[in-house]
Amino acid sequence: MTAGHPDTVGSKPASFADITTMRIGGRIGKFIQPTSRAEFILSLVDADSEHLPLCVIGGGSNMLVSDDDFNGVVVRDARRKVSILDEAVPAGPGEPKLVHVEAEAGTNWDDFVEYTVRMGMEGIEGLSGIPGTVGASVVQNIGAYGQEAASAVSSVQVWDRKAQKVINLKKEEMCFGYRTSLLKKTMYEGMDERTSGRTPSQYFPSPRYIVLSVVFELRHSATGVVGMAQLAEALQARVGERIAASDIRTAVLQIRTGKGMVEDPSRYGNPWMKGTKDTAEVHNAHQADGIQPDYDRWSCGSFFVNPVITPAQADAVLPVDAPRFESALPDGSEGIKASAAWLIDRAGFHKGFTVNGRAALSSRHTLALTNRGGARSDDIVRLARTIREGVQQAFNIDLVPEPVFIGL
């Protein structure tokens, strides 16, 4: 145990099933929740010096873990301080003022978004409702409804496990891309996390660089920009129109809830999740006794990355009615982003599709693979493989899983 947080609750050891949104995974060898920066770094150094597998976990939303025991160290950062670093400074004539906000890595992401909107800041309101932490947000470069974490990041302070020191990475050094970053790339050999055959690096299942805190550059404005057509429709507004950031946040949460792409609040009734979120989810959890769990929310979120392919490939394999979005390939050249959800549905895998009843596509969103209450990791892997093979056969497109697979 460390920092006053035991490895067991009563006689029950911690497991990944307790701390992940999929609610699947085996027992954890050592579970640590550091409450200070020094304790956090020491926990990383100790695990590496003992050559133990190290898993630094945020909200547990973007991972699928084996049911076998994890004979390593799991560290969940319990530091959640948020600081406004400066007074708003001019961004230019007629432009909104900028403000820099630093959040420690363990800060719950949606709590942080709610705070910035409440404080009159614009820039991440479209990312409301995404499970996880501030630290995980920059590893994955989370994005939704016309915004990405990268667009608001100023710098990231990390612990370099190789150099054994704290360094500050500027935004341009983070190598942000579509659902990726320098940090994520270091988890795999050759820093290539895009292929389905990716090989774990020596740092896996965590990056070489472990996030300590993130400085965001936000605009001091009570309004935000409507970034996508779906959001515009919900708000009865136009794409590009400026409206209250609080209204954008509310609409995003409503859309995500309708798709089942928010957390099941009952997870915060689990003693292993105590203290990890500040807002109404905790209250809701205590009201959830006896209420049927919402299995559509027992997922990793979006299970597959929207594939980015060349324009020529898009013309060759995508039907004329397939959604297409302008994007960029890893080398910076022109790309077309296809909709993974659309491909899955058109390949014949509709909402609720299941192989064995224990794991199934969400009844509300085809991009979420869900645990229906008794699934094991192998059930999810089998379902994912079936869908990938079907999409490959139908469209000759390889869907790449978004979650980190541990022990699978």
Catalytic positions, written as ranges: 179, 302, 402
Rounded to 10 degrees, the C-alpha dihedral 366/59/124/301 comes to: 0
Q: How far apart are CA 17 and CA 125, in angstroms?
A: 30
Report the SS3 class of residue 24.
coil
3-state helix, strand, coil in the chain (%, to 5): 30, 25, 45
Dist. CA 30–CA 325, nearest whole Å: 44
Separation CA 142–CA 131 (nearest Å)? 10
Interatomic CA distance for residues 398 and 408, integer angstroms: 19
Quickly list H helices, 186-320: 229-235, 245-258, 280-286, 311-317
Rounded Cα distance between 364 and 309, Å, is 27
